[in-house]
């Protein structure tokens, strides 16, 4: 769990009015669901908007063992006595902050039960262990995300939960936007970034055939950062692109061949 208050606003390039939608949802206390592939900018978007709105942000990376208690809180032993400790969701509700549940479909099923009262007109959080019922104040917002490409029957979001959220689809940015993002984040010059972004576009066309998913903008930034720091292109791409994308020797070689056509 990571908390961010409001240092400088993280860089984010708007593409389709998503910032206006987020601000409107926040103003009216509406929950928002972000859908899109890994590394396409969902988390950065939430960080940007939380800083822009001046709200504390609690980010939770959901996983198979994440339970409702992890979000709400639990009694812990401190200094020889048992003390109640709020979880990230409870803190966000108390403070009127933003709680972001990344890959929410990975969490255990009891999490949805806790979220439902926060995503309708009640906007309440029940803490059974303490007997409290918190009413979410103005400023509180629940944001969740998931990657539709990795959904299975067991991990699919139920319609009863999905229809409680506004939804916004994300995808990888267009070439010009991605160049601007990678240049800003890595410090690499625009000309060399443009080559990396073209390579990323070629790799994404392999997604679903040789690769489970295309290269994320995050990995492009990593590669650009290594190159900006003085590392050779071949070594940087091996570490930031080829190895993270696949363990299959034949696919790794295919990616090296593709890189050679772009940089040859």
Instruction: Compute the distance between CA of residue 179 and CA of residue 173 in angstroms, rounded to an integer.
Output: 9
Per-residue pLDDT reduced to its tens digit, 15-34: 889 999 999 999 999 999 99
Instruction: For 52-98, write each residue's pLDDT tens digit.
Output: 999 999 999 999 999 999 999 998 888 888 899 999 999 999 999 99
Question: How far is Cα 76 from Cα 82, in angstroms, rounded to an integer?
Answer: 5
Q: Report pLDDT digits (tens) over 190-209.
A: 999 999 999 999 998 876 55
For residue 234, pLDDT beyond 60:
yes
Rounded Cα gap, residues 43 and 240, in angstroms: 20
Residue 153: predicted pLDDT: 45
Query: 179 or 158, which is more confident?
Result: 179
Tell me the pLDDT band of 150, cut-offs 50, 70 and 90.
low
Determine the average pLDDT of the residues in 125-131.
91
In this structure, the dihedral spanned by the alpha carbons of residues 169, 175, 181 and 186, taken in order and rounded to 10 degrees, is 130
pLDDT at 6 over 50: no
Give this prediction's pTM.
Answer: 0.85
């Amino acid at each position: 769990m990571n908390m961010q208050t409001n240092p400088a606003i993280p860089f984010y390039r708007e593409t389709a009015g998503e910032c206006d939608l987020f601000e409107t949802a926040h103003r009216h206390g509406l929950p928002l669901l972000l859908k899109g592939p890994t590394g396409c900018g969902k988390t950065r978007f939430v960080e940007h908007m939380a800083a822009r709105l001046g709200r504390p942000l609690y980010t939770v990376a959901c996983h198979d063992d994440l339970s409702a208690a992890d979000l709400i809180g639990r009694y812990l032993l401190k200094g020889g006595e048992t003390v109640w400790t709020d979880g990230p969701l409870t803190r966000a509700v108390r403070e009127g902050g933003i709680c972001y549940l990344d890959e929410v479909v990975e969490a255990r099923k009891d999490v949805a039960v806790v979220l439902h009262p926060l995503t309708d007109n009640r906007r309440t959080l029940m803490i059974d262990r303490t007997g409290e019922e918190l009413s979410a104040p103005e400023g509180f917002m629940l944001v969740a995300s998931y990657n539709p490409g990795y959904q299975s029957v067991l991990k699919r979001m139920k319609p009863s939960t999905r229809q409680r959220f506004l939804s916004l689809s994300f995808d990888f940015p267009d070439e010009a936007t991605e160049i601007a993002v990678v240049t800003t984040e890595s410090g690499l010059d625009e000309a060399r970034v443009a080559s990396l972004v073209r390579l990323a576009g070629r790799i994404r066309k392999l997604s679903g055939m040789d690769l489970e998913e295309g290269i994320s903008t995050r990995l492009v930034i990593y590669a650009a950062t290594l190159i900006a720091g003085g590392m050779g292109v071949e070594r940087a791409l091996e570490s930031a692109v080829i190895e993270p994308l696949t363990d299959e020797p034949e696919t790794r070689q295919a990616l090296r061949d593709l890189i050679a056509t772009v940089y040859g």
